[in-house]
Structure 1
Amino acid sequence: MLSLRKGRYAARLAETPDDVEAAQRLRYLTFRATETQPGGLDADAYDAMCRHVLVEETRTGRLVCCFRLLPLKGGSEIGQSYSAQYYELSGLASFDGPMVEMGRFCIHPDCKDPDILRVAWGAMTRFVDEEGVEMLFGCSSFKGTEAEAYMDAFALLKERHLAPKRWLPRVKAPNVFRFAQNLRLGKPDAKRAMLGMPPLLRSYLVMGGWVSDHAVVDRDLNTLHVFTGLEIRAIPPARKRLLRAAGS
């Protein structure tokens, strides 16, 4: 069973219904909390299909990060994924290796320690190695639904990080921002672009990840998200060594 301890934090798989509920509470706090409804559960039908990873503060047991994993035998099962609700993914149906969808990734809003993300990726790396995963994918979310706040980020994605044509997701959701089509050619401000990127998406990109050519406007979770894929064999060797060191 996945278990990883690094410094102040430890990652493990949820073992009980209470563990899953703790993750759902953190997800609610991150994605749905309002002044009038500060607490609750973010839950859906996919929770029962997934494995849930918890990152906790070792001294206090406080949950600081969580995400869920949906393993698939290959691209023929891509339609079972959460992402398939929002993206037309038939291009990935021919992928012939084991895949895993990472979803609902969140870090407690009060926690800013970058080691939390490092431990989360270390746990993910261990899972990928143990399960022989060949592609990691999911939806990477920008906070809010106004694309104007992230124009440099979207311009950088268009310029450097679009999916290979054979894997490129097509439009399925009714409300999308087609940034690859709508943004004019121009040099994005790289620093501002990276500051606007969600930390999870930045991690995908430095490992060679790629994105859809459009963002889905998700008013339910108050986010803009892009489909993100990462072929494990395409991760640069130096980066792979660092990840495996984090996962050991």
Structure 2
Amino acid sequence: MQTSIIQAANLPSDVRPASGKLVLSMASTPEELHEVQRLRYKVFIETMGLSSLESPDGLDSDEFDAYCDHLIVRDVDTLKVVGTYRLLSATRARKLGRLYSEGEFDLGRLNHLRGRMVEAGRACIHPAYRGGSVIMLLWSGLADYMRRENCDYLIGCASISLADGGHNAVAVYQQLIGKHLAPLEYRVTPHLPFPFGKLEAAQKPQVPALLKGYMRSGAWICGEPAWDPDFESADLFLMMPLANLDARYARHYGVAGESLAA
């Protein structure tokens, strides 16, 4: 897809041009936040058929939304939000008093890094826009955000569906820890462990696209998965040092080689 300069008078002033017909920005109004929450509801609740989480307002929201920044990718032609990422800075996490991940994991070993971490979550892309361009835009915005916040570590949970009874989650975990397990000093412990040791692994692991992208970018899996009964998933806690970004993704994110070396 060729890069083009986009001019649209009816777009928010803080939207910056991106490739093709997509633009990346940060949600700055209550209306834009509601667009984000509607997209999340469509993808996380309706598509996954999680009837226990259905809401009459059609919004996926929680108390963390008010403290977070929300990256959005918008289709210029339709002005629809087609991708989003929720980011919690170290400053906002300190004000809130906790991280979202702490609801699932004991992060005690990471206490000394709290001032240098950005937590990312609720990554969400409209089904019709999953060709790769949207996630690249979101991750480029994420890298810009980390530099702006002077943070060196990206953390967050990556979910694996349990729709098959958990067999794929077991297979994915067993496959990935061989190469991507974090050093011992970065390990975390799930509050509600997923019983991967009691289930037979699927023969052919199907690694979710987002999780695969994290691994290719140099992220670590920081321990055993947690069980999230609300979203019917096994969640892995991930940490990605900014210095671990591989050169292919560094070019996409705009991170200079000198920054990676430092």
**TM-score greater than 0.5 by the shorter chain:** yes
**Conservation of the 8 A alpha-carbon contact between 1:98 and 1:134:** yes
Q: 2:61 aligns with which of 43, 50, 67?
A: 43
Pairwise CA RMSD of aligned residues?
Answer: 3.1
For residues 123-163 of structure 1, the C-alpha deviation after alignment (integer angstroms, 9 at most, x for no partner) is: 11221222222000101112335320233311112211112
Write the distance in 2 (CA, Å) between the matches of 1:3 and 1:182.
Answer: 49
Write the distance in 2 (CA, Å) between the matches of 1:106 and 1:74.
Answer: 22
Pair 1:215 & 2:225 matched: yes
**Which of 1 and 2 has greater Rg?**
2
Change beyond 3 A, Cα 1:89–1:74: farther
Q: In the alignment, which residue of structure 1 is the partner of 2:5?
A: none
Unaligned runs of 5+ in 1: none
Write the distance in 1 (CA, Å) between the matches of 2:254 and 2:99.
Answer: 26
Q: 1:129 aligns with which of 103, 125, 147?
A: 147
Pair 1:14 & 2:27 matched: yes
Write the distance in 1 (CA, Å) between the matches of 2:139 and 2:107.
Answer: 25
Change beyond 3 A, Cα 1:217–1:92: same
Q: 1:30 aligns with which of 27, 39, 43?
A: 43
Change beyond 3 A, Cα 1:12–1:235: same
Aligned-residue offset at 1:77: 8.5
Aligned-residue offset at 1:24: 0.8
Aligned-residue offset at 1:117: 1.2
Q: In the alignment, which residue of structure 1 is the partner of 2:3?
A: none
Q: 1:59 aligns with which of 77, 80, 95?
A: 77
Q: In the alignment, which residue of structure 2 is the partner of 1:226?
A: 236
Q: 2:207 aligns with which of 179, 197, 202?
A: 197
Q: 2:194 aligns with which of 152, 174, 177?
A: 177
Change beyond 3 A, Cα 1:116–1:239: closer
Query: Which segment is superposed worse, 88-97 or 28-37?
Result: 28-37
**Conservation of the 8 A alpha-carbon contact between 1:217 and 1:223:** yes
Name the amino acid aligned to 1:123.
Answer: G
**Conservation of the 8 A alpha-carbon contact between 1:11 and 1:120:** yes
- Indicate the SS of the match to 1:208: coil
Q: Give 1:159-170 correspondences, 5 Å limit.
A: 159-170=178-189
Aligned-residue offset at 1:25: 0.9
Q: In the alignment, which residue of structure 2 is the partner of 1:103?
A: 121
- Indicate the SS of the match to 1:32: helix
* TM-score, normalising length: structure 2: 0.79
Q: 2:138 aligns with which of 120, 145, 151?
A: 120
Write the distance in 1 (CA, Å) between the matches of 2:144 and 2:75.
Answer: 19
Query: Which segment is superposed worse, 72-81 or 8-17?
Result: 72-81
- The structure whose residues are more often strand, as a share, is 1
Aligned-residue offset at 1:235: 2.4
Change beyond 3 A, Cα 1:97–1:238: farther
Write the distance in 2 (CA, Å) between the matches of 1:44 and 1:182.
Answer: 33
Write the distance in 1 (CA, Å) between the matches of 2:246 and 2:134.
Answer: 22
* TM-score, normalising length: structure 1: 0.83
For residues 80-125 of structure 1, the C-alpha deviation after alignment (integer angstroms, 9 at most, x for no partner) is: 1000110000010122652110011111133332111111111112
Write the distance in 2 (CA, Å) between the matches of 1:161 and 1:9.
Answer: 32
Q: In the alignment, which residue of structure 2 is the partner of 1:82?
A: 100
Aligned length: 237
- Indicate the SS of the match to 1:94: helix
**Conservation of the 8 A alpha-carbon contact between 1:55 and 1:116:** yes
Aligned-residue offset at 1:225: 1.2
Name the amino acid aligned to 1:14.
Answer: A
**Conservation of the 8 A alpha-carbon contact between 1:4 and 1:123:** no
**Conservation of the 8 A alpha-carbon contact between 1:52 and 1:68:** yes
**Conservation of the 8 A alpha-carbon contact between 1:78 and 1:84:** no
Name the amino acid aligned to 1:240.
Answer: A
Q: 1:156 aligns with which of 157, 175, 191?
A: 175
Which one scores higher on RCO, CA 8 angstroms, separation ≥ 6? 1
**Conservation of the 8 A alpha-carbon contact between 1:75 and 1:97:** no
